[in-house]
Structure 1
Amino acid sequence: MFIRNNRISILALAFLAVAGVFASCENDINEVKELGKKKTGVEEGYKIESFLSQDGKMKARLTAPVMLRYLRDTARIVFPNTMHVDFYSDSLKIENTLFARYGTYLENDNKVLLQDSVIVINVKGDTLRTEELWWDQNRQLFYTDKPAYIRQPEQKFDGMYGMQADQSFKKWTLFQASGSLKVADSSMAVP
């Protein structure tokens, strides 16, 4: 009789334990919804130094304090806290320097959108300032449709509808341009 009561007690205890487990299971609806959402993959990097080469030649060196790489349909790399790029000639001399407070590299398009206080300086000291600038790496071209300002040691030019320049920033064109140009003295007499 003792054995029979012991078995009943064990069965009752097991039943109560299982019932207690099921009764205590409760899911917060918000937690369940969060589990079903797809998480965006983001890679983070700090104190970034990256080198760009084309046809086996080093073309640029990029430095940035923070880099975020988003792994979605449109793969992109974001530099949210400034970026600095030195562009090199074939003889590895710096041709120009670029600075921006914010940059986005569109990996599939091989283009960079630079924003917020964009500055490009070439070896001659020509300085471009604009709020937005595209850099097309395939075409080795800078361009914008936003106002662009170029300053040279003794001249200044403003392009109210943007500009276009080669990657070396040696040849550039301003759209709807105005500015001051220093003209050499002329030996022609003024009537």
Structure 2
Amino acid sequence: MGSVLALTLLMACSEAHEHTAPAVNPEDSVSMMTTYGVNTLISDSGVIKYRIVTEQWDVNTVRQPSRWEFMKGIFFEQFDEKFRVQGYIQADTAWYFDQQRLWKLRGRVNVRNTNGLIYTSEELYWDGLRHEFYSTVFSRLVTPERTIEGTYFRSDEQMTHYMVTNSKGSFLPNDLEEEKADSTENKK
């Protein structure tokens, strides 16, 4: 009987504890703007330069560094001054760090320009301050003349001057014949 009384007193004295989640940290804050179904044109000095198409665009200025997030994919088109398409970029996910002017593109990244270059990778950075693209993961470039693959890639914004290291590739037979002819002439 004493143990029943002690158990009853113990249960009566125990307080109910409320289970609450911790406060939201500024790093975890929600976006200040979320836009759905985006198809917008971006101009520079009154000239339309880009089109951005995305299913969802989040702008978060509280997180450090501040960023735009495109978690459901992104498609860019670049135009010349006569509104002709100069190239496009497509990725499954993208982040734009506005203060650094840096794009981080991830997952099935595809780039194509008017020279016929096709670039594919799982990750690509676009540095707006240095006006260059770079990647440190496996990348593949296909041009009308050759195919090059490697694990380090760097290029200008037009993808006309590029470097691929730790690479392998295939070239047209004519390229090899010209190289042999050049080396034979140099030995004479």
Q: 1:54 aligns to what?
A: 44
Find runs of 4+ consecutive structure 1 residues off by over 6 angstroms. Answer: none
CA deviations over 1:56-87 (Å, ceiling 9, x no partner): 43321111011122231321111111110011
Aligned-residue CA RMSD (Å):
2.6
Offset, 1:125? 2.0
Report the 3-state secondary structure (helix = DSSP H, G, I; strand = E; otherwise coil) of the residue aligned with 1:74: coil
CA distance in 2, matches of 1:150, 1:61: 24
Q: 1:1-191 alignment to 2 at 5 Å?
A: 29-30=18-19, 37=24, 40-42=29-31, 43-72=33-62, 73-160=64-151, 162-184=152-174
CA distance in 2, matches of 1:82, 1:37: 27
Offset, 1:168? 1.8
Offset, 1:151? 1.1
Using the aligned pairs only, state the percent identity.
17
TM-score (norm 2): 0.73
CA distance in 1, matches of 2:42, 2:132: 15
Q: Which runs of 5+ in 2 are unaligned?
A: 1-15
Which structure has the larger Rg over C-alpha atoms?
Answer: 1
Q: 1:127 to 1:93 in 2, by over 3 A?
A: same
CA deviations over 1:97-133 (Å, ceiling 9, x no partner): 1110000011111111000010001112211011100
Number of matched pairs: 160
Q: 1:10 aligns to what?
A: none
Q: 1:60 to 1:139 in 2, by over 3 A?
A: farther
Q: 1:55 to 1:140 in 2, by over 3 A?
A: farther
CA distance in 2, matches of 1:183, 1:47: 47
Mean Cα deviation higher: 38-47 or 163-172: 38-47
Report the 3-state secondary structure (helix = DSSP H, G, I; strand = E; otherwise coil) of the residue aligned with 1:138: coil
Q: Which runs of 5+ in 1 are unaligned?
A: 1-26
TM-score (norm 1): 0.72
Which amino acid in structure 1 is aligned with residue 124 of structure 2?
L
